[in-house]
Amino acid sequence: MSITVKFFASLRETVGKDEAILDPARAQTAQQAWEAATDGREMPANTLIAVNMEYAGADAAVTDGDEVAFFPPVTGGGGDVLR
C-alpha cells in the first residue's frame, strides 16, 4: 500500500533523492505527495508533474499504487543550440 514519488534531473539533485515511497494516507494530490516526500520544501515554479506517466497539475488526485514524478522542463532531442 504505497504511492511512489520520483524526482528527475536537477530536481533530483535539489531534493537530494530520486525516489520516495509514501503511505497513501499522506497524499491525496500531487502537491501533497511533493510536500510529504520533500519534508515540506517549496516546489520550484517551473516543475513539471506526471501522474502514472501522464502530465498532470499539482492538484491532480493521487491514490494507492500511483507513481508521481516531478521534474524540470524537458530538454531532449537535438538540432538546437544548448547555450
Q: Which residues bind other proteins (CB under 8 A)?
A: 6, 8-10, 50, 53, 55, 69, 71-83
Least distance between other proteins and beta carbon 23 (Å): 23
Nearer to other proteins, 1 or 81 (CB): 81
Helix (H) or strand (E) holding 37: helix 30-37
Task: Report d(CA 26, CA 33) in Å as an integer.
Answer: 7
Q: Which of the 8 DSSP states describes residue 44? A: P
Least distance between other proteins and beta carbon 25 (Å): 25
41 close to 47: Cβ distance less than 8 angstroms: no
37: Cα separation from own chain's centroid: 9
Least distance between other proteins and beta carbon 66 (Å): 13
Nearer to other proteins, 40 or 75 (CB): 75
